[in-house]
């Protein structure tokens, strides 16, 4: 069976959940092999993590020539690996950086590329949500090695034992790929909450919060969720732009999205309508968000959310 390469998403060797989702999707297409680009000392730990999700091999690419630069060296490294492994497909977790890596890789391999897939079936047909979520498109790469970036939370990770044999892979990065260097990077402020685009649950607030996000944050913390915001909340200065969900903010696709005091404008929907289950709390029963929801509560969020938060805490014991 041909290999399917999955780029491991990690922070300092800590493997992130989208990797497991991609390994699960990769198993539909062939034999999953994970690709770790990072410190040589961290490869064994990463291999341990992906072992439980069916990775038969873990290609370890030392990032000594890669980490101080922007995306070009990563694309070059993956192209060299693809040249040796001849994979049936290459899957990358969707992120701004990985989409650029994928695009450069597609050029180098003279292959087709699909970005932001939300599903892949066993014949390689990828599903995308396009035009602000108004259309669902199914597509298949017909040229070269299919390269597909997949949005976080697109598949439920399925545990399956794999050998996860660490295979060091030497790369030679050209000077041409090292023309853009990272001069400074600022880590995201640690909030203790999951990253918005990767969270399984997102609890968002809009203008209806009146600027008081405490009820939204209280429910988010009880559920272990990320906090999101509408543009109205961001434009009012209540939340930073990094929290904005929508056309000009982040696109999220969690298992559960809870919209509180958000009317459901098309630009907000564009960032959240592929969520698996949508719940809204809004005091206006005519609010357009209710056209979209699986469950809707007509009420004041400042009364409803604390009650739900208490119920969640009680249920968790």
- Give the residue numbers of the binding site for FAD: 207, 230-231, 244-248, 261-268, 282
Q: Provide, rounded to whole angstroms, the least separation between the CB of residue 182 and ligand FAD.
A: 28
Residue 236 near ligand FAD by CB under 6 A: no
- Sites for ligand FAD among residues 254-283 (CB under 6 A): 261-263, 265, 267-268, 271, 281-283
In the bound state with ligand FAD, the residue whose beta carbon lies nearer, of 23 and 233, is 233
Nearer to ligand FAD, 195 or 300 (CB): 300
Q: Which window, 7-15, 105-113, 125-133, 242-250, contacts ligand FAD (CB under 6 A)?
A: 242-250
296 binds ligand FAD (CB under 6 A): no
DSSP codes, the chain: --EEEEEPPEETTEE-HHHHHHHHHHTTTSEEEEEEEE-GGGHHHHHHHHTTBT-SEEEEEEGGGTTTB-SHHHHHHHHHHHHHH--SEEEEE--HHHHHHHHHHHHHHT--EEEEEEEE-TTSPEEEEETTTTEEEEE---SSS-EEEE-TTSS----B----EEEE------GGGGSSB-----PPPP-SSPPTTT-SEEEEE-GGGTT--HHHHHHHHHHTPEEEE-HHHHHTTSS-GGGBBSTTSB----SEEEEES----HHHHTTTTT-SEEEEEES-TT-GGGGT-SEEEES-HHHHHHHHHHHHHHHH-
Residue 260 Cβ vs ligand FAD, minimum distance, rounded to whole Å: 6
Q: Which is nearer to ligand FAD, 18 or 271 (CB)?
A: 271
Provide the mask over 189-218, with x wherever binding to ligand FAD is found by CB under 6 A and - wherever it is not.
Answer: -----------------xxx----------
Site string for ligand FAD, 153-192 (x = CB under 6 A): ----------------------------------------
Measuring CA to CA, how many Å separate 308 from each of 62, 165, 281, 315? Answer: 47, 46, 11, 10
Out of 242, 248, 255, 277, point to the residue binding ligand FAD (CB under 6 A): 248
Minimum separation from the CB atom of position 239 to ligand FAD (A):
11
* Among the listed residues 82, 287, 293, 308, the single contact to ligand FAD using CB under 6 A: 287
Task: With CB under 6 A as the rule, give the number of residues binding ligand FAD.
Answer: 28
Q: Which is nearer to ligand FAD, 26 or 196 (CB)?
A: 196
Residue 282 contacts residue 298 (beta carbons within 8 Å): yes
Minimum CB distance to ligand FAD, residue 129 (Å): 15
Considering the complex, state which of residue 132 and residue 173 has its C-beta at the smaller distance from ligand FAD.
132
Rule CB under 6 A: is residue 151 a binding residue for ligand FAD?
Answer: no
Nearest alpha-carbon partner for 229 in 218, 221, 217, 219: 217
Counting beta carbons within 10 angstroms of the beta carbon of residue 286, is it exposed (0 to 12), middle (13 to 18) or buried (19 or more)? exposed
Q: Which is nearer to ligand FAD, 124 or 246 (CB)?
A: 246
Query: Shortest approach of ligand FAD to residue 203 CB, angstroms?
Result: 13
How is residue 91 written in tokens? 């899957």
Residues at the site binding ligand FAD, with contacts judged by CB under 6 A: 206-208, 230-233, 244-249, 261-263, 265, 267-268, 271, 281-284, 287, 300-302
């Amino acid at each position: 069976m041909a290999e399917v390469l999955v780029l491991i998403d990690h922070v300092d060797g800590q493997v992130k959940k989208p990797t497991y989702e991609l390994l699960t999707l990769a198993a539909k297409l062939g034999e999953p092999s994970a690709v770790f680009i990072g410190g040589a000392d961290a490869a064994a730990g990463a291999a341990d993590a992906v072992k439980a999700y069916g990775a038969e091999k873990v290609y370890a690419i030392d990032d000594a020539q890669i980490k101080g630069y922007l995306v070009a060296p990563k694309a070059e490294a993956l192209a060299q690996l693809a040249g040796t492994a001849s994979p049936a497909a290459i899957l990358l977790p969707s992120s701004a950086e990985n989409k650029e890596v994928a695009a450069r890789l597609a050029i180098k391999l003279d292959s087709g590329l699909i970005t932001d897939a939300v599903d892949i079936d066993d014949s390689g047909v990828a599903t995308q949500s396009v035009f602000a979520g108004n259309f669902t498109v199914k597509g298949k790469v017909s040229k070269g090695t299919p390269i597909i970036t997949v949005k976080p939370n697109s598949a439920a990770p399925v545990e399956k034992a794999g050998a996860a044999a660490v295979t060091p892979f030497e790369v030679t990065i050209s000077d041409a790929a090292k023309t853009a260097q990272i001069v400074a990077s600022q880590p995201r402020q640690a909030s203790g909450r999951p990253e918005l685009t990767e969270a399984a649950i997102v609890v968002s607030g809009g203008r209806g919060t009146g600027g008081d996000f405490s009820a939204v944050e209280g429910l988010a913390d009880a559920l272990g969720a990320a906090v999101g915001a509408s543009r109205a909340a961001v434009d009012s200065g209540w939340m930073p732009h990094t929290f904005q969900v929508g056309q000009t903010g982040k696109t999220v696709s969690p298992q559960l999205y809870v919209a509180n005091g958000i009317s459901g404008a098309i630009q907000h929907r564009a960032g959240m309508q592929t969520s698996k289950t949508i719940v809204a709390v809004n005091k206006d029963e005519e609010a357009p968000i209710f056209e979209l929801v699986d469950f809707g509560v007509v009420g004041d969020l400042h009364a409803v959310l604390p009650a739900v938060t208490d119920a969640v805490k009680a249920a968790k014991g």
